[in-house]
C-alpha cells in the first residue's frame, strides 16, 4: 500500500532544508515544542500534494519563503518501489517532477494518490488542525460539503459526482444564468430585444411608405405643372434674348454698312487713277493667241530645218551610189529604167541559160561525131580536103552577142554622156561585126564520093545531124536575142550570165533611185513646212506696226524671239489692267449691296420692335430691359421647379431605397438566426441543467440511503471516546449533526461543549476515513494537536481511536505535548496488539 | 371551339419572408437567402414567359403583409410588369399571409393583374388576344388573415364552361403543421365540378387527386428545414376541360436538406468526419447546382459519443465541415449537426447495479411519470422558461440526453 515515507522542506515559510521522516506506514507521532515547524510541515504535506497556495486571495496560509521559491519534496513508497515527488513554486500550484528512486516509473503518481480526494476534502478530513475540526459540519447539506464528496468517493466513482455536477452547472451557467449578461443565452436575449426594436422601427418606416407613395404622386403632378410654367417662362426669356441679340446685330450691321460706304469712295478713286496709268496694245493682245500658237511650233520649225540639212546629205550620197551601180554594168539610167527585171525575166534568163547550154552541147556533140566520121572517111579516101568550116559558123553567136553588147554600151554612153561607155561600146560593136562577117562563109561540106560509101553515108548523116543541131542552136540564139529585146535587156549583151548580173545591178539601182526619190520628197515636205511656218509667223504679226517680219527661213528664229518678248510684256500689262478693273467693279458692287442691306436691316429692326411690342425707333436698351424682366421670371419659376424636383427626387430616392433596402429582410433573417441559436443553446442548456440536477438528486438519494453505515460507525467511535456518555450520531440531512446520549436524548452538536464537539467531529472523520478504503491511497491523515481540549479520559479514548485509525491509513500526529505523545505510544504499544508508533522529535526550531 | 391553353400554377411565394431555422453568419449565404424568394419568383416568371403560357394563377400568400415589406410588394409589381410586357395575365387570390385588409404599400398593379374577390366566389372568363375564350377561372381570396369558413363549398361550375379552374387558398383535409384556414375536404372540391384545382397554403407540392386534378404547387422556395427537397410550380396544359400535360418545374434558389447519419458502427471521429462529408456530397448532388442548407442528426449507440459529447471536438468538427462546405461553389451551409447519439455503455446493465449510476438511471426512469417529469422540468427549466418563454421541446428526449451525459461524465475516468 502506498504511503508517505519522507517530507523535505527545501524552502517553505520558515522551514529551510528541514526533513520529516522516515515515516512508518502506521502511526507516526511528531513531538516538538511550539514554533518548531509542526504546523508548517502539516501544511507543506498538503501543498506538496495539491500545489502551493496562492500568496494572496486565499484563506489558506501561503508560507511564503524569504529564502527563495517555495519548494519541497515528498518521498512515497509501496511494496513495488519508491518515488520522490518534488514541487517548486510556480503557476497552477507549481510544477511537479517525479523521480523514481526504485521500482517502475510512475509519472502520474501524484494524481493517482490524490484521486477522489479534493484539496478541500484533504484539508478538512485528512489533514487538519483544531481550526478545521468544525468545518466538517459546515455545508453538509450543500453540494460542496466535504461529507458529500467523501461519500461519493466511497460510492466507488473515480469522479466525484459533486465535481461532475459542478462541471455540468458551470457549463450550463455559461449558457444561461438569471440576471447576468455574459452567458450566451442572456446575450442572445439582449440581441433579440435590440433586433426586435430595429424591426419595429423598420415596420414603422414601411407604414409610412404608402403615405410617401401618395405624396410622391402629388409631387409628380406638381412637378409637371412647375415644369410647364418654367419652360414657358424660359421660352419667352429665350425669345426676348434672341430678339435682343438680333436687334443688336442689326444695329451693328447698320453702323458697319454706313462706315464701309464712307470708306469705299476713296478706294474707288485710287483704282480709277491706277487704271489710267496702265498701257496695253490691244491689237497685240488680240493677236496674242495666234502668236502663241505660232511660237508654240517654233521648236518644230527648228527640228525641220535640221532635217532638211540631213536630207541634202542623203540625196548626194544616193545619187553617187546609183551612178556607180550603172557604171559597173555599163548601161544608162534610161536603159536601166526601161529594162524588165521582174521575176519572169529572172526566171526566163535562167531558163534560157540552161536551154542554150543544152543546145550548144548537143550541137558540139553532133559536130564532133561528124568530124570523127569525116576523119575516118578521110582516112579511107585519103583524100578529102573539102571540109566545112565549122569554126566560121562558130563565130556567129559571139558576133551577135558582142554586136548587141556594143550597141547597148554605145547607146547608154550616148544617153548618159559617158565617153568611156561610148568608146567601149563601139569597140565591142566592131568586134561583133567581125565575127558575124567570118561566120558568113560557113556551110555543109561536100560529101566525098569515095569508096567507102557506107562511111560516107554515115558521115552525111552525121553532118546532117550536126547541121540540124547547129540550126536548132542558132534558132534558139535568135529566139534568146528576141526575148532579150522584148525584155529590153538586149543592152546587157547575149551572155545569160552577163544579163543576170546586169539585171541584179538594175534592181539595186532602182532601189537606190526609190530611196533617193523618197529623200527628195521628205526634204521637199520639210522645206515646204518651214516655209509655211515663216509665212504663219509673218501673218501672225501682220498689221502690228512694231512687230518685225521674217524674210527668209534664216530670220525666223530671231524674229520669233522678238515677237515673244513684245507679247509677254503686253500680257502682263493687260492683267494689271484687269485686276484694277475688277477692284473697281467690286467696290461698285459693294456700295450697291451695302446700300440695299442698310434698307433690309432697317426693315428688320422695325420688324423686331413690332414683335416685342416696342414702338418704331425704340432701341436695344429698351428691349434689354424687357429681356431681363423675362429672365428674372424664368429664374423664379426655375427655382420653384427645382424645389419641387428636389422634393420629388428625394422622395423617389427614399421610395427607391425601400425597394432596394433589404435591411428588414436582413434583420428578420438575423432574428430567425438568433431564434434558431437560442433554440440550440436552450437545448444544450436544458441537457446540462437536467444532467446536473439528475446527479444532484442521485447524490442526495445516495447519501440518504447509503450514509447510515458511516454515521453508525461514527457513533460507535464517538461512544468509545466518550466512554458511553454518548451513544450515537444522527445526520438528518438538513445540515445538522445530532448526538444521542445514554438516555437517548437528542442533542444538537451546537449544544455540545467545545471539547465534546471536537470529539464528535473527529469521530465522524475517523468513520469516514475508514470507509474510504481504496480512495486516496497514499494520502496520510495529518492531525495537528487535535486532542488538547479533551480531558484525560477522553484523550485516552481519542488515542485509542487514532491508533485504530492508523490500522487503516498512515497517520502523522503532530503535538507539542509530551504526555500526548506518550499516551499514544502507550496505547499503540505492540503489546496491546497494535502496530506500534514511530516517534519523531522536532527538537530544533526550523531555520 | 376553344383551343388548347397553358398556364402556370404557383402559390405561397412569401416574398421577403425570413428563412426559419437557419443561423447564417456568412455574408454570401445571408445575401442568397435574402434574395431567394425573389429569385424563385423571377424563375416562375421566366418559365411563364419562355413557355409562352396564356396566364398565371397564384393561390395566395404572395407575401407576408404582417412583415410590412415594401420591397416585397415593389418587387412583386415589377415581376407583374414583366409578365404584362409578355401579355400574360395573372390571377391571384389573397391568402392568410397577404389578406386583402393587410398592409399595403399603396402600389398600383399593372392591368394584367387581377385579384379575385374576397367576399364571394368570382368567375372570370379568360380570353386570348384574339378574344377567344380559353377557360373560366373561379376564385375567392382571404379578406382577413383568419378565415375559418369552408370557401370550397361555395364554388360551383357554371353550365356551359368548357374548362373550369378553381383557385383557392385552403387547408384541405386538415393537414397538420398548417393553420386550419378555409378548411375543406376533397369531396367539397369534387362537388364544385372544377376541371383543375389550383391550391395554395401547403408549402410542399401535393397531388390530391386526378379526377379532377387537385394540386398544391407548394412554395416556389422552401423557407424552413421542414420544407426540404425540390420546390417549384406546375405548368399545366388543358384542352376542353382535360389536363393534357402537367409538369412540375423546379424554381427554388436554395435547397433544404435534412439527413440522419447512424454512427453506430463508427469507432472514431475520423469516421464521423468522412460520413459527414459524404452526406454533404449527396446533398450537393440532389441540389441541382443550387446552394443548399443541410441539417444533420447523428444517431446510434457509439464509441464516438464520448468524443463528441464533451469538450470542443464536436464543435470543431462541425465548424471545419461548415467552413469547408461554405468555401465550395455553390456553397452548402451545414446549418446544424445534432448529436443524438447514445453512449456505448450498457444502460440495462448499469440499471441493475446498486450503486450511484444505478441510482441515477432509476431516478431518471422515475421521471417517465408525466407529473414527476413536469415537476422536475419546471424546477430545472423554470428560470429559463420565464426568461424566454417555454421552448418547443421533447422533454423525454432532453431527459434521456441528460441521463447519458451524466453517466458519461460519471464513468469518464473508468472508461
Taking only the tens place, the pLDDT of each residue in B365-395 is 999 988 888 899 999 999 888 888 887 888 8
Q: How far apart are CA B216 and CA A811, in angstroms?
A: 83
Residues of B in contact with A111 (CB under 8 A): none
* Reported confidence tier of residue B2, pLDDT bands at 50, 70, 90: low
CA atoms A700, A704, A705, A709: torsion sign: positive
List pLDDT tens digits, range A449-504: 556 678 888 888 888 888 888 888 899 889 999 998 998 888 888 888 888 889 88
Span(s) in chain B for CATH 3.60.21.10: 5-250
Strand partners, A783: A128, A813
Residues 6 or more apart in contact with residue B210 via CB below 8 angstroms? none
DSSP, collapsed to helix, strand or coil, labels residue A660 as: helix
What pLDDT is recorded for position B77?
92
The count of other CB atoms within 10 Å of the CB of residue B414 is: 11
What nine digits make up the cell of B188?
Answer: 367539397
Contact (Cβ atoms closer than 8 angstroms) between residue A2 and residue A776: no
Q: How far apart are CA A587 and CA A576, in angstroms?
A: 17
Interface test with B, best of A694, A700, A701, A707 (most B CBs within 10 A): A694
Sheet with B232-239: list strands edge to edge. B113-115, B89-92, B55-58, B5-10, B232-239, B242-250
What pLDDT is recorded for position A146?
56
Q: How far apart are CA B189 and CA B196, in angstroms?
A: 10
Residue A515 backbone phi and psi in degrees, to 5? -60, -40
Q: How many CA atoms lie within 13 A of A474 on its CB side?
A: 14
The count of other CB atoms within 10 Å of the CB of residue A315 is: 18
Residues of B in contact with A685 (CB under 8 A): 384
Smallest CA-to-CA distance from A648 within A108, A224, A279 is with A224
Query: Counting beta carbons within 10 angstroms of the beta carbon of residue A343, is it exposed (0 to 12), middle (13 to 18) or buried (19 or more)?
Result: exposed
Residues of A in contact with B359 (CB under 8 A): 698, 701-702, 705
Closest CA–CA distance from residue A750 to any residue of chain B (Å): 32
DSSP, collapsed to helix, strand or coil, labels residue A32 as: coil
Closest CA–CA distance from residue B383 to any residue of chain A (Å): 7
Residues 6 or more apart in contact with residue A659 via CB below 8 angstroms? B70, B71, B74, B75
Closest CA–CA distance from residue B374 to any residue of chain A (Å): 12
Residues of A in contact with B398 (CB under 8 A): 683, 686-687, 690
Q: Is B187 on the interface with A (CB under 8 A)?
A: no
What pLDDT is recorded for position B228?
94
Residue B15 backbone phi and psi in degrees, to 5? -55, 135
Can you identify the CATH homologous superfamily of domain B5-250? Metallo-dependent phosphatases (3.60.21.10)
Closest CA–CA distance from residue A647 to any residue of chain B (Å): 19
Interchain pair B71, A185: CB under 8 A:
no
Q: How far apart are CA A405 and CA A275, in angstroms?
A: 91
Closest CA–CA distance from residue B207 to any residue of chain A (Å): 31
Radius of gyration of chain A (CA): 86
* H or E stretch covering A128: strand A127-129
Q: Is B77 on the interface with A (CB under 8 A)?
A: no
Nearest CA in chain B to A673: B23
Q: Of chain B residues 333-352, which have a CB less than 8 A from chain A? A: 335-336
List pLDDT tens digits, range B12-55: 999 988 888 787 788 889 889 989 999 999 999 999 999 999 99
Residues of B in contact with A172 (CB under 8 A): none
What pLDDT is recorded for position A665?
81
Contact (Cβ atoms closer than 8 angstroms) between residue B194 and residue B208: no
Nearest CA in chain B to A158: B413
Closest CA–CA distance from residue A661 to any residue of chain B (Å): 7
Smallest CA-to-CA distance from B73 within B86, B84, B59, B62 is with B62
Query: Counting beta carbons within 10 angstroms of the beta carbon of residue B2, is it exposed (0 to 12), middle (13 to 18) or buried (19 or more)?
Result: middle
What nine digits make up the cell of A343?
Answer: 521575176
Q: How far apart are CA A542 and CA A545, in angstroms?
A: 8
Smallest CA-to-CA distance from A42 within A846, A845, A814, A825 is with A814
Interchain pair B388, A690: CB under 8 A:
no
Interchain pair B410, A669: CB under 8 A:
no
For A775-811, give one letter per residue: b (16+ CB within 10 A) or e: bbbbbbbbbbbbbebbeeebbbbbbbbbbbbbeebbb
Backbone torsion region of residue A616, taken as left when φ is above 0, otherwise alpha when ψ lies between -120 and 50, otherwise beta: beta
Q: How far apart are CA A542 and CA A547, in angstroms?
A: 8
* H or E stretch covering A827: helix A818-827
Q: Is B108 on the interface with A (CB under 8 A)?
A: no
Q: In the 8-state DSSP scheme, what is residue A59?
A: S
Nearest CA in chain B to A192: B388
Q: Is B412 on the interface with A (CB under 8 A)?
A: yes
Closest CA–CA distance from residue A31 to any residue of chain B (Å): 40
Residue A393 backbone phi and psi in degrees, to 5? -60, -25
Interchain pair A660, B18: CB under 8 A:
no
| Cα distances (Å, whole numbers) of residue A580 to A285, A569, A575 | 17, 17, 9
Interchain pair A214, B106: CB under 8 A:
yes
What nine digits make up the cell of A406?
Answer: 556594143
Interface test with A, best of B69, B254, B389 (most A CBs within 10 A): B69
Residues of B in contact with A702 (CB under 8 A): 356, 359
Smallest CA-to-CA distance from A367 within A254, A478, A463 is with A463
What pLDDT is recorded for position A202?
81
CA atoms A715, A717, A722, A723: torsion sign: positive
**Which of A155, A159, A664 is facing B69, going by the closest CB pair?**
A664
ipTM over the 0.90 cut-off: no
Interchain pair B67, A693: CB under 8 A:
no
Q: How far apart are CA B376 and CA A205, in angstroms?
A: 46
Q: How far apart are CA A552 and CA A558, in angstroms?
A: 11
Residues of B in contact with A695 (CB under 8 A): 360, 406, 409-410
Q: Which segments of chain A have a pLDDT < 50?
A: 140-143, 384, 386-389, 442-448, 846-847
For chain A, how far is it from start to end, CA to CA, in angstroms?
33
Closest CA–CA distance from residue A847 to any residue of chain B (Å): 43
Interchain pair B406, A164: CB under 8 A:
yes
Strand partners, A800: none
Closest CA–CA distance from residue B48 to any residue of chain A (Å): 24
Interchain pair B34, A662: CB under 8 A:
yes
Q: Is B177 on the interface with A (CB under 8 A)?
A: no
Residues of A in contact with B17 (CB under 8 A): 668
Residues of A in contact with B409 (CB under 8 A): 159, 164, 167-168, 691, 695
For the stretch A82-85, contacts whose Cβ atoms lie closer than 8 Å and that sit 24 or more positions apart, written own/partner, are A82/A5, A83/A109, A85/A48, A85/A109, A85/A110
Q: Which of A139-143, B116-120, B276-280, B401-405 has the lowest mean pLDDT?
A: A139-143
What pLDDT is recorded for position A446?
47
Q: How far apart are CA B383 and CA A245, in angstroms?
A: 89
Interchain pair B355, A685: CB under 8 A:
no
Residues 6 or more apart in contact with residue A196 via CB below 8 angstroms? A671
Nearest CA in chain B to A199: B67
Residues 6 or more apart in contact with residue A330 via CB below 8 angstroms? A408, A409, A412, A421, A424, A425
Q: Is beta strand A127-129 parallel, antiparallel or unpaired with respect to A726-730?
A: unpaired
Query: Counting beta carbons within 10 angstroms of the beta carbon of residue A63, is it exposed (0 to 12), middle (13 to 18) or buried (19 or more)?
Result: buried
| Cα distances (Å, whole numbers) of residue A793 to A30, A375, A799, B82, B240 | 22, 225, 10, 107, 116
Strand partners, A747: A739
Interchain pair A659, B71: CB under 8 A:
yes
Interchain pair B104, A210: CB under 8 A:
yes
Smallest CA-to-CA distance from B242 within B157, B127, B164 is with B164
Q: In the 8-state DSSP scheme, what is residue A446?
A: P
Contact (Cβ atoms closer than 8 angstroms) between residue A696 and residue A770: no
Nearest CA in chain A to B393: A683
CA A308 to chain CA centroid, nearest Å: 80
Cα Dmax for chain A: 239
Q: How far apart are CA B190 and CA B212, in angstroms?
A: 7
Residues of B in contact with A214 (CB under 8 A): 106
Contact (Cβ atoms closer than 8 angstroms) between residue A623 and residue A243: yes
Cis peptide before A330 (omega within 30 of 0): no
What nine digits make up the cell of A579?
Answer: 485686276
Residues of B in contact with A207 (CB under 8 A): 68, 103
What nine digits make up the cell of A242?
Answer: 434672341
Given a cut of 70, whether residue B322 has pLDDT beyond it is yes
Closest CA–CA distance from residue B74 to any residue of chain A (Å): 6
What nine digits make up the cell of B312?
Answer: 470542443
Q: How far apart are CA A702 and CA A708, in angstroms?
A: 11
**Which of A206, A690, A698 is facing B380, going by the closest CB pair?**
A690
Interchain pair A689, B75: CB under 8 A:
no
Given a cut of 80, whether residue B341 has pLDDT beyond it is yes
Helices (H) then strands (E): counts for chain A: 23, 13
Q: How far apart are CA A768 and CA B335, in angstroms?
A: 52
Interface test with B, best of A167, A664, A691 (most B CBs within 10 A): A691
**Which of A665, A680, A694 is facing B406, going by the closest CB pair?**
A694
Closest CA–CA distance from residue A239 to any residue of chain B (Å): 42
Interchain pair B405, A687: CB under 8 A:
yes
Nearest CA in chain B to A668: B18
Amino acid at each position: 500500500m502506498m504511503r508517505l515515507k519522507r517530507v523535505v522542506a527545501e524552502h517553505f515559510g520558515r522551514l529551510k532544508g528541514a526533513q520529516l521522516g522516515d515515516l512508518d506506514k502506521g502511526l507516526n507521532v511528531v513531538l516538538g515544542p511550539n514554533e518548531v515547524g509542526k504546523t508548517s510541515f502539516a501544511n507543506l504535506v498538503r501543498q506538496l500534494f495539491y500545489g502551493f497556495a496562492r500568496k494572496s486571495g486565499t484563506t489558506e496560509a501561503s508560507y511564503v519563503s524569504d529564502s527563495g521559491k517555495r519548494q519541497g519534496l515528498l518521498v512515497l513508497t509501496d511494496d513495488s518501489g519508491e518515488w520522490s515527488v518534488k514541487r517548486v513554486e510556480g503557476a497552477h500550484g507549481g510544477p511537479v517532477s517525479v523521480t523514481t528512486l526504485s521500482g517502475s516509473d510512475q509519472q502520474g503518481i501524484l494524481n493517482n494518490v490524490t484521486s477522489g480526494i479534493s484539496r478541500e476534502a484533504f484539508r478538512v478530513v485528512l489533514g487538519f488542525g483544531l481550526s478545521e475540526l468544525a468545518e466538517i459540519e459546515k455545508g453538509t447539506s450543500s453540494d460542496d460539503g466535504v461529507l458529500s464528496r467523501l461519500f461519493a468517493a466511497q460510492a466507488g466513482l473515480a469522479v466525484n459526482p459533486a465535481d461532475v455536477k459542478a462541471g455540468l452547472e458551470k457549463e450550463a451557467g455559461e449558457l444561461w444564468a438569471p440576471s447576468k449578461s455574459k452567458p450566451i443565452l442572456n446575450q442572445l436575449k439582449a440581441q433579440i430585444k435590440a433586433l426586435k426594436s430595429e424591426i419595429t422601427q423598420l415596420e414603422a418606416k414601411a407604414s409610412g411608405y404608402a403615405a410617401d407613395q401618395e405624396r410622391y404622386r402629388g409631387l409628380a403632378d406638381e412637378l409637371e405643372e412647375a415644369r410647364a410654367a418654367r419652360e414657358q417662362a424660359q421660352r419667352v426669356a429665350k425669345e426676348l434674348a434672341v430678339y435682343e441679340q438680333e436687334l443688336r446685330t442689326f444695329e451693328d450691321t447698320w453702323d458697319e454698312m454706313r462706315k464701309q460706304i464712307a470708306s469705299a469712295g476713296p478706294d474707288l478713286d485710287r483704282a480709277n487713277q491706277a487704271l489710267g496709268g496702265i498701257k496695253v496694245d490691244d491689237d497685240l493682245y488680240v493677236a496674242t493667241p495666234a502668236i502663241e500658237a505660232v511660237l508654240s511650233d517654233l521648236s518644230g520649225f527648228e527640228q525641220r530645218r535640221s532635217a532638211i540639212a540631213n536630207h541634202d546629205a542623203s540625196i548626194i550620197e544616193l545619187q553617187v551610189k546609183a551612178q556607180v551601180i550603172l557604171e559597173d554594168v555599163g548601161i544608162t539610167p534610161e536603159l536601166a529604167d526601161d529594162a524588165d527585171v521582174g521575176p519572169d525575166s529572172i526566171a526566163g534568163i535562167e531558163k534560157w541559160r540552161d536551154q542554150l547550154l543544152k543546145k550548144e552541147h548537143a550541137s558540139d556533140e553532133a559536130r564532133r561525131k561528124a568530124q570523127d566520121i569525116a576523119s575516118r572517111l578521110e582516112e579511107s579516101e585519103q583524100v578529102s580536103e573539102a571540109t566545112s568550116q565549122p569554126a566560121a559558123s562558130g563565130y556567129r553567136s559571139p558576133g551577135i552577142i558582142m554586136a548587141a553588147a556594143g550597141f547597148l554600151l554605145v547607146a547608154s554612153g550616148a544617153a548618159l554622156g559617158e565617153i568611156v561607155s561610148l568608146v567601149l561600146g563601139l569597140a565591142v560593136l566592131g568586134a561583133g561585126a567581125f565575127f558575124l562577117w567570118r561566120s558568113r562563109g560557113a556551110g555543109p561540106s561536100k560529101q566525098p564520093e569515095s569508096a567507102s560509101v557506107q562511111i560516107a553515108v554515115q558521115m552525111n548523116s552525121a553532118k546532117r545531124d550536126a547541121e540540124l543541131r547547129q540550126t536548132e542552136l542558132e534558132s534558139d540564139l535568135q529566139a534568146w536575142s528576141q526575148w532579150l529585146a522584148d525584155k529590153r535587156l538586149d543592152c546587157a549583151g547575149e551572155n545569160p550570165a552577163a544579163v543576170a548580173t546586169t539585171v541584179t545591178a538594175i534592181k539595186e539601182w532602182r532601189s537606190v533611185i526609190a530611196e533617193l526619190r523618197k529623200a527628195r520628197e521628205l526634204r521637199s515636205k520639210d522645206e515646204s513646212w518651214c516655209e509655211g511656218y515663216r509665212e504663219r509667223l509673218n501673218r501672225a504679226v501682220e498689221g502690228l506696226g512694231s512687230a518685225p517680219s521674217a524674210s527668209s527661213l534664216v530670220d525666223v528664229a530671231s524674229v520669233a524671239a522678238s515677237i515673244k518678248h513684245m507679247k509677254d510684256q503686253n500680257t502682263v500689262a493687260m492683267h494689271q489692267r484687269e485686276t484694277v478693273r475688277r477692284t473697281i467693279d467690286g467696290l461698285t458692287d459693294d456700295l450697291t449691296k451695302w446700300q440695299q442691306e442698310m434698307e433690309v436691316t432697317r426693315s428688320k429692326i422695325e420688324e423686331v420692335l413690332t414683335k416685342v411690342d416696342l414702338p418704331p425707333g425704340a432701341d436695344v436698351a429698351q428691349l434689354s430691359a424687357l429681356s431681363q424682366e423675362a429672365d428674372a421670371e424664368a429664374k423664379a419659376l426655375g427655382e420653384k421647379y427645382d424645389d419641387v424636383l428636389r422634393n420629388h427626387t428625394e422622395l423617389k430616392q427614399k421610395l427607391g431605397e425601400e425597394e432596394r433596402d433589404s435591411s428588414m429582410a436582413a434583420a428578420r433573417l438575423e432574428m430567425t438566426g438568433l431564434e434558431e441559436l437560442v433554440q440550440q443553446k436552450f437545448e444544450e442548456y436544458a441537457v446540462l441543467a437536467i444532467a446536473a440536477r439528475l446527479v444532484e438528486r442521485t447524490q442526495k438519494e445516495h447519501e440518504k440511503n447509503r450514509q447510515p453505515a458511516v454515521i453508525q460507525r461514527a457513533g460507535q467511535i464517538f461512544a468509545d471516546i466518550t466512554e458511553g456518555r454518548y451513544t450515537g450520531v444522527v445526520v438528518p440531512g438538513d445540515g445538522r449533526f445530532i448526538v444521542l446520549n445514554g438516555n437517548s436524548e437528542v442533542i444538537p452538536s451546537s449544544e455540545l461543549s467545545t471539547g465534546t464537539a471536537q470529539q464528535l467531529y473527529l469521530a465522524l472523520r475517523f468513520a469516514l476515513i475508514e470507509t474510504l478504503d481504496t480512495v486516496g491511497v497514499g494520502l496520510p491523515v495529518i492531525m495537528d494537536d487535535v486532542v488538547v481540549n479533551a480531558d484525560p479520559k477522553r484523550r485516552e479514548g481519542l488515542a485509542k481511536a487514532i491508533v485504530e485509525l492508523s490500522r487503516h491509513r498512515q497517520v502523522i500526529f503532530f503535538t507539542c505535548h509530551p504526555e500526548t505523545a506518550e499516551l499514544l505510544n502507550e496505547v499503540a504499544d505492540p503489546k496491546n496488539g497494535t502496530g506500534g508508533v514511530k516517534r519523531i522529535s522536532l527538537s530544533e526550531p526550523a531555520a | 371551339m376553344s383551343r388548347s391553353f397553358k398556364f402556370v400554377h404557383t402559390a405561397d411565394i412569401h416574398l421577403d419572408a425570413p428563412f426559419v431555422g437557419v443561423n447564417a453568419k456568412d455574408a454570401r449565404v445571408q445575401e442568397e437567402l435574402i434574395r431567394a424568394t425573389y429569385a424563385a419568383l423571377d424563375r416562375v416568371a421566366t418559365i411563364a414567359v419562355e413557355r409562352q403560357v396564356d396566364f398565371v394563377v397564384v393561390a395566395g400568400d404572395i407575401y407576408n403583409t404582417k412583415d410590412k415589406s415594401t420591397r416585397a410588394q415593389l418587387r412583386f409589381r415589377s415581376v407583374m410588369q414583366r409578365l404584362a410586357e409578355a401579355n400574360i395575365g395573372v390571377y391571384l387570390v389573397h391568402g392568410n399571409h397577404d389578406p386583402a385588409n393587410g398592409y399595403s404599400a399603396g402600389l398600383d398593379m399593372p392591368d394584367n393583374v387581377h385579384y379575385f374577390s374576397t367576399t364571394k366566389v368570382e368567375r372570370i372568363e379568360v380570353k386570348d388576344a384574339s378574344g377567344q375564350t380559353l377557360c373560366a377561372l373561379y376564385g375567392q381570396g382571404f379578406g382577413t388573415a383568419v378565415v375559418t369558413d369552408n370557401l370550397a363549398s361555395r364554388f360551383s361550375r357554371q353550365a356551359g364552361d368548357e374548362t373550369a379552374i378553381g383557385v383557392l387558398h385552403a387547408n384541405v383535409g386538415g393537414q397538420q403543421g398548417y393553420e386550419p384556414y378555409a378548411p375543406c375536404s376533397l369531396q367539397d372540391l369534387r362537388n364544385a365540378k372544377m376541371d383543375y384545382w389550383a391550391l395554395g397554403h401547403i408549402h410542399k407540392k401535393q397531388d390530391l387527386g386526378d379526377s379532377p386534378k387537385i394540386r398544391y404547387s407548394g412554395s416556389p422556395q422552401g423557407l424552413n428545414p421542414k420544407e426540404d427537397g425540390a420546390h417549384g410550380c406546375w405548368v399545366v396544359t388543358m384542352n376542353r376541360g382535360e389536363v393534357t400535360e402537367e409538369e412540375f418545374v423546379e424554381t427554388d434558389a436554395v435547397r433544404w436538406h435534412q439527413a440522419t447519419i447512424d454512427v453506430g458502427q463508427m469507432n472514431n471521429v475520423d469516421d464521423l468526419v468522412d460520413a459527414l462529408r459524404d452526406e454533404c456530397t449527396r446533398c450537393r448532388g440532389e441540389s441541382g447546382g443550387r446552394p443548399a442548407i443541410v441539417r444533420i442528426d447523428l444517431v446510434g449507440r457509439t464509441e464516438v459519443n464520448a468524443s463528441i459529447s464533451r469538450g470542443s471536438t464536436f464543435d470543431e468538427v462541425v465548424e471545419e465541415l461548415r467552413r469547408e462546405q461554405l468555401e465550395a461553389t455553390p456553397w452548402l451551409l451545414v446549418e446544424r449537426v445534432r448529436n443524438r447519439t447514445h453512449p456505448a455503455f450498457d444502460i440495462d446493465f448499469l440499471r441493475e447495479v446498486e450503486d450511484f449510476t444505478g441510482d441515477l438511471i432509476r431516478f431518471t426512469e422515475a421521471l417517465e411519470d408525466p407529473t414527476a417529469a413536469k415537476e422536475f422540468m419546471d424546477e430545472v427549466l423554470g428560470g429559463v422558461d420565464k426568461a424566454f418563454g417555454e421552448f418547443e421541446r421533447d422533454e423525454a428526449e432532453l431527459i434521456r440526453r441528460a441521463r447519458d451525459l451524466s453517466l458519461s461524465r460519471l464513468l469518464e475516468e473508468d472508461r
